[in-house]
Structure 1
Amino acid sequence: MELMTWFTELLEGNLIFTPQTLSYYWDGLVTTTQLVFLSLLAGLVLAVPLAIGRSSRHRWISLPIYAYTYVFRGTPLLIQLYIIYYGVVFVDGIQESIFWPLLREAFYPALIAFTLNTAAYTTEIFRGAIKATARGEIEAARAYGMSQSLMMRRIILPSAFRRALPAYGNEVIFMLHASAIASVVTLMDLTGAARFVYARFYAPFEAFLFVAAIYLCLTFAILYFFRFLEKRLLAHLKPA
């Protein structure tokens, strides 16, 4: 009860919760949502063919993909963000190219770093799910005369996606939490908005606790969404 009273007084009497500062939080929420959604979408598109290649018996296909996933999973995301954000300037001819108007903005280097990072993790998640496909499903598909590509599209990938769903849900939450580092490259995301409000009003507890509450609500929404998908897609595995 005392906590609720304190929170009500905080919202009513503290200067950091004004329409202007709340607009900063809203803009930060929009930026965070866009960054996480676009990076996850692009990472998922990259991860599916990479996971198929990673599962290949041909080492000239699987080894380069393994090297990529090893590097991006074995180094901190913050270092990857720094390299892409600060290093892109030193690429020969990049400032004269048509991509420079995009790359000089903090959002797109952050999007590239987040996409490459989540694609590496998602590739290994899907690769493990593909390898775990039941032998009987593959033999039944071959008995029906399916080609390798048709079997991959109709049998292996749908089955692997269902098995990978819990682990991929954790990856989505990880990317949401990891997006907080985007503010170190001047991107005004949720954490960047909290840092701005803190620097202006010298109120660290109010600024960062409010953002923590927003992240907590987003995390619960993602958990609920993936639990709903699991119930729908894995209903056949539950005992009658």
Structure 2
Amino acid sequence: MSDRAEQKVEASAAPTVPPSRAWSKARLTGYALMGVWAAAVVGLVLFMAESFNPDFIERYGEKFVSGFVVTVELVTISLVVGCLLSLPVAAMRMSRSAILNGISYAYVYFFRGTPLLAQTFLVYYGAGTFQPFLKDAGVWWFFRDAWYCAIFAFSLNTAAYQAEILRGSIQNVSRGQWEAAAALGLHKAVIFWKVILPQAMIVALRPYGNEIILMIKGSAIASIITIYDLMGETRRAYSRSYDFQAYIWAAVMYLVLVEALRQTWDVIEARLTRHLKRS
């Protein structure tokens, strides 16, 4: 090999040093915001350390834990019921029938286009307007209870969002998957459950996680209709003690719940998508 060829090989093999990043306005703004958030966290920790009241924890700590459990139960039941409802709604949204598609579209449009608070009020306070009819139907026992009304409203709301997530994920799967499975002689039901749905769930995993987090934070409005969830217990503790740290502890518990869910969701996503990562 000639000297010129060796020089070319060495030049091509030499690692290139990436240029240093310039301090742009966006970068400076990002660092400034990070500094503000860090200062806010430090200030919050110092405030909680200085204002820590053992008597407050002793009096209301057990009630906060009880409210935390109620929040988890409310969100879990609503999400499970909403998931079951989302399956037929998503199927109707993808149906070629104009009637079924129109009904499901109106349902999704209403529950995604109106606030969850208004929907909860419509169920809880509006049920009283139809009390004679509900009594004759034998379901007044359900609608007179704030707990059941909250689950009913939350389930209908999250079902609309989950139906759209599921529909979009299924439509994201290539049509060739259907055709390839059909060429093997598989039944349509088998194709959907064994071929299409697993691929769609990988796409829907992150939106589902976001929906769960939104439901956790949105569940705080249940306290307005006399449900003593985490926010309900927080409001009761503050009304009796006028201690602002009640809301701080509530925020910390919500943050812990959301962060635990996020970490769990990351593990699930990494597990389900491990075959997509290159070694």
TM-score by length of 2: 0.80
Cross-structure match for 1:29? 68
Residue by residue over 1:79-121, the C-alpha shift from the partner in whole angstroms, topping out at 9 and shown as x without a partner, is: 0000000011122332455433332221110000000000000
**Segment drifting more, 216-225 vs 97-106:** 97-106
Q: For the Cα contact (< 8 Å) 2:124–2:146, is it kept in 1? A: yes
Residue by residue over 1:163-192, the C-alpha shift from the partner in whole angstroms, topping out at 9 and shown as x without a partner, is: 100000000000000001111111111111
Aligned-residue offset at 1:3: 6.0
Cα distance in 2 between the residues matched to 1:82 and 1:3: 34
1:112-191 equivalence runs, <5 A: 112-191=152-231
Please point out which of 196, 204, 212 is paired with 2:251.
Answer: 212
1:12-51 equivalence runs, <5 A: 13-18=53-58, 20-51=59-90
Q: Percent identity?
A: 40
**Segment drifting more, 85-94 vs 111-120:** 85-94
Cα distance in 2 between the residues matched to 1:102 and 1:30: 22
Aligned-residue offset at 1:49: 2.4
Cross-structure match for 1:192? 232
Cα distance in 2 between the residues matched to 1:30 and 1:4: 25
Q: For the Cα contact (< 8 Å) 1:89–1:95, is it kept in 2? A: no
Cα distance in 1 between the residues matched to 2:92 and 2:274: 30
Unaligned 5+ segments in structure 1 are none
* Pair 1:231–1:202, CA change in 2 (3 A): same
Report which structure shows greater RCO (CA 8 Å, sep ≥6).
1
Q: List structure 1 runs of 4+ shifted beyond 4 angstroms.
A: 1-6
Cross-structure match for 1:7? 48
Aligned-residue offset at 1:5: 5.8
Aligned-residue offset at 1:9: 4.7
Q: For the Cα contact (< 8 Å) 1:80–1:113, is it kept in 2? A: yes
Secondary structure at 1:17 match in 2: helix
Q: For the Cα contact (< 8 Å) 2:48–2:245, is it kept in 1? A: no
Task: For 1:197, give the aligned amino acid.
Answer: A
Cα distance in 2 between the residues matched to 1:152 and 1:196: 49
Please point out which of 73, 87, 106 is paired with 1:67.
Answer: 106
Q: For the Cα contact (< 8 Å) 1:43–1:119, is it kept in 2? A: yes
Secondary structure at 1:146 match in 2: coil
Residue by residue over 1:119-172, the C-alpha shift from the partner in whole angstroms, topping out at 9 and shown as x without a partner, is: 000000000001101122111111111222221111111211111000000000
Root mean square deviation, CA, Å: 1.8
Task: For 1:7, give the aligned amino acid.
Answer: M
Cross-structure match for 2:278? 239
Cα distance in 1 between the residues matched to 2:119 and 2:146: 14
Unaligned 5+ segments in structure 2 are 1-41
Cα distance in 2 between the residues matched to 1:215 and 1:55: 36
Cα distance in 2 between the residues matched to 1:4 and 1:116: 39
**Segment drifting more, 180-189 vs 43-52:** 43-52
Q: For the Cα contact (< 8 Å) 2:234–2:246, is it kept in 1? A: yes
Cross-structure match for 2:91? 52
1:80 to 2:119 alignment: yes
Cα distance in 1 between the residues matched to 2:145 and 2:256: 29
Aligned-residue offset at 1:10: 3.5
**Segment drifting more, 20-29 vs 110-119:** 20-29
Task: For 1:129, give the aligned amino acid.
Answer: S
Aligned-residue offset at 1:62: 1.6
